[in-house]
């Protein structure tokens, strides 16, 4: 189904359930026999951070959605980004995703891992219910959906770590991911990885080479063969992400600049004006009058 159809499904579930806490219940699966291979790989990981990293990596197999870890100071925010969405995510889907992350963390560490806070752009409602479930303060009318943990909690080891099970599950997932990525041109694949790495930092060619499991020299050679440089690829990734953020989120421009790896908002503004010939704010106003209707396939959460 398309992203729009998937969102419509979750809106329908919310209306049919008539239960404001239904998403939290859906995201809290207690029976491990119901876990799919991706969740099993996460639960078998070494730490909470490793688990979320594996979820983010293997999520590419099921839908055009990114799970991002954004480090800031002593905090680490977990964000779900629907890359091809042309509307806001249904609140029920957001609840499922965040409850799922907390459930994995608590099950893996066997400790009451609680976020520092939950950030939701929606209007304030059912505060007591969310604070009771996540056991943390909730900030409504935030700029984005985010589940914020302390860095220390993200590094907690998993008592469920199972190297033998991971050795069985992970290679198959990696093989499927490699096959899927191989269907794209090399530059498209590399740009997709750069978009994942662009989360409050500016990745270098060494970071991209590591993710592609190539030496820096081999990566440079393959990019040259396709007539593109790393800097141009990075600029294209930034430009495409900038367009997405401006169209599909309510983030402030300063925050968008940060997520794209710019040191300050002015650097972002200059780059954007070079790309589009206008300011980010003006571009957002003009483009929202005529949004694209491209769809893509998505899978279950």
| Contact criterion met (CB below 8 Å) for 66 and 193 | no
pLDDT in tens, 236-253: 999 988 888 887 777 788
pLDDT average, residue stretch 99-117: 95
Q: In the structure, what pLDDT confidence band is assigned to residue 200 with cuts at 50, 70 and 90?
A: low
What is the C-alpha to C-alpha distance for residues 182 and 189, in angstroms, rounded to an integer?
A: 8
**Among candidate residues 142, 138, 120, the one with its CA nearest the CA of residue 130:** 138
Q: What mean pLDDT comes out for the span 227-235?
A: 90
Q: Which of 141-145, 163-167, 189-193 has the lowest mean pLDDT?
A: 189-193
The answer to whether residues 79 and 125 belong to one domain is: yes
Q: What does the DSSP 8-state code read for residue 157?
A: B
Per-residue model confidence (pLDDT) at position 289: 66
Q: pLDDT digit string (tens) for 27-62?
A: 987 776 667 888 899 999 999 999 999 998 888 788
Instruction: Tell which phi-psi region holds residue 202, choosing left (phi > 0), alpha (psi between -120 and 50) or beta.
Output: beta
Of 28, 23, 3, 4, the residue nearest 13 (C-alpha): 23
Identify the domain containing residue 116 by its residue range: 3-154
Residue 162 lies in a domain: no
Is 166 within a domain? no
* pLDDT tier, 296 (very low <50, low <70, confident <90, very high otherwise): very low
What whole-number distance in Å separates Cα of residue 73 and Cα of residue 216? 29
User: What mean pLDDT comes out for the span 151-170?
Assistant: 94
Identify whether residues 217 and 91 lie together within a single domain. no
Q: Is residue 207 in some structural domain? A: yes
The whole-number average pLDDT for the span 202-225 is 89
Is 133's pLDDT higher than 90? yes
Q: Same domain, yes or no, for 145 and 249?
A: no
Residues 141 and 276 in one domain: no
> What does the pLDDT read at residue 36?
84
pLDDT at 93 over 80: yes
Residue 91 lies in a domain: yes
Side by side, which strands form the sheet with 138-140? 65-72, 75-82, 146-150, 117-120, 138-140
Whether 65 shows a pLDDT value over 50: the answer reads yes
Spatial distance between the Cα atoms of 112 and 50, rounded to a whole number of angstroms? 18
Comparing 23-27, 161-165, 188-192, 245-249, the range with the smallest average pLDDT is 245-249
Q: Which of 154, 171, 206 is the last residue of a domain?
A: 154
């Amino acid at each position: 189904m398309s992203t729009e159809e998937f969102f419509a499904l979750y809106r329908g579930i919310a209306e049919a359930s008539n239960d404001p806490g239904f998403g939290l219940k859906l995201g809290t699966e207690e029976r491990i026999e119901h876990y799919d291979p991706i969740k099993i790989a996460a639960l078998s990981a070494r730490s909470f951070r490793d688990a979320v990293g594996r979820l983010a990596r293997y999520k590419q197999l099921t839908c055009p959605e990114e799970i991002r870890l954004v480090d800031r100071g002593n905090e680490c925010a977990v964000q779900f980004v629907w890359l091809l969405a042309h509307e806001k995510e249904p609140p029920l889907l957001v609840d499922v995703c965040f409850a799922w992350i907390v459930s994995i963390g608590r099950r893996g560490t066997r400790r009451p891992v609680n976020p520092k806070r939950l950030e939701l752009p929606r209007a304030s409602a059912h505060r007591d219910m969310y604070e009771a479930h996540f056991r943390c303060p909730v900030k409504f009318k935030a700029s984005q959906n985010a589940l914020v943990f302390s860095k220390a909690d993200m590094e907690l080891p998993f008592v469920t770590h199972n190297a033998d099970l991971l050795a069985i599950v992970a290679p198959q997932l990696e093989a499927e991911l490699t096959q899927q990525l191989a269907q794209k041109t090399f530059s498209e694949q590399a740009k997709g990885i750069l978009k994942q790495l662009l989360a409050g930092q500016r990745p270098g060619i060494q970071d991209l080479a590591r993710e592609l499991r190539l030496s820096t020299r081999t990566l440079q050679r393959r990019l040259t063969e396709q007539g593109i440089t790393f800097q141009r690829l990075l600029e294209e990734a930034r430009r495409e992400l900038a367009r997405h953020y401006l169209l599909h989120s309510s983030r402030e421009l300063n925050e968008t600049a940060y997520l794209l790896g710019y040191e300050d908002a002015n650097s972002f503004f200059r780059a954007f004006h070079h790309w589009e010939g206008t300011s980010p704010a003006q571009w957002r106003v003009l483009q929202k009058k005529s949004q694209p209707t491209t769809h893509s396939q998505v899978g279950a959460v």
